[in-house]
Amino acid sequence: LKLRRYFHETREMNRRRAEMQITEQMSPMLQGEFALFSHQKWIEKVWYLRNMPHDIIVFMSRNLKMAAYSPNEEVFSDRTLFIVRRGICALAGRILVSGHTWGEDMLLSNEHLRSKNHARSLSYSFVLMLHVEDMADIVAEFPEARARLKWAQVQIAIVRGVRKIAEVTKELQKSGSMSEEAMTDEDRLSFFEDVLRGRFSPDASGGSPFAVDGGPSDFGPRR
């Protein structure tokens, strides 16, 4: 019965596969226009992708992947943007329905600033996904789009960094392991760097303290 229900609920996925087979026979321009028609409204749910150049939206639309999840199934993929197309998911106490997004912090290569929460499907859910490497490839030849994503990286990193420092400071003061009054400016800077390196995290592994970009998410000029 459960398997029958799953196949019934995944009819939309089957329709999408059929659409993809048809669009493969179209010209590149028509493929892009069809992808834009199908997915533009979903992409614009992501705050830093709104009002992107037309070509960028077309390429992102063509690179979106759809996945189906059954009730109580974990929804997670590292450094991936998720958009709920249909169904209900839960994430860190939030209920996510059609049009809701998560994973926007995929832009950050500093793993200590990215959320480690995994979503869970509460119904038969269909989500659209875009990996950071696909996004980096898409904007590689578009300086304006790279600049906008770079600015989004900075905004997310600042918010997450300040929050992380505040959380660690509160915990250390609560345990009596830290006295902020006794710290010099140099001590504070060193402490901030240690927090952003993940020294106070269970999975501390070092690395650059201010690595908000780099690696596959590098939105700087390509050489």
pLDDT at site 22: 63
Residues 6+ apart with CB under 8 A from 92: 115, 117
> Residue 103: helix, strand or coil by DSSP?
coil
Task: Give the Cα separation of 135 and 60 in Å (integer).
Answer: 7
pTM over 0.85: no
Helical ranges in the chain per DSSP H? 2-9, 11-23, 28-43, 54-63, 132-139, 143-175, 185-197
Reported as a single tens digit per residue, the pLDDT across 171-212 is 888 888 888 778 888 988 998 899 988 887 654 444 443 344
Reported as a single tens digit per residue, the pLDDT across 4-40 is 666 666 666 666 666 666 666 666 667 667 777 777 8
pLDDT at site 58: 85
Task: Give the Cα separation of 154 and 116 in Å (integer).
Answer: 19
pLDDT at site 25: 65
Reported as a single tens digit per residue, the pLDDT across 4-13 is 666 666 666 6
HSE (side-chain half, CA atoms, 13 Å) at 46? 29
> Residue 40: helix, strand or coil by DSSP?
helix
Task: Give the Cα separation of 164 and 222 in Å (integer).
Answer: 31
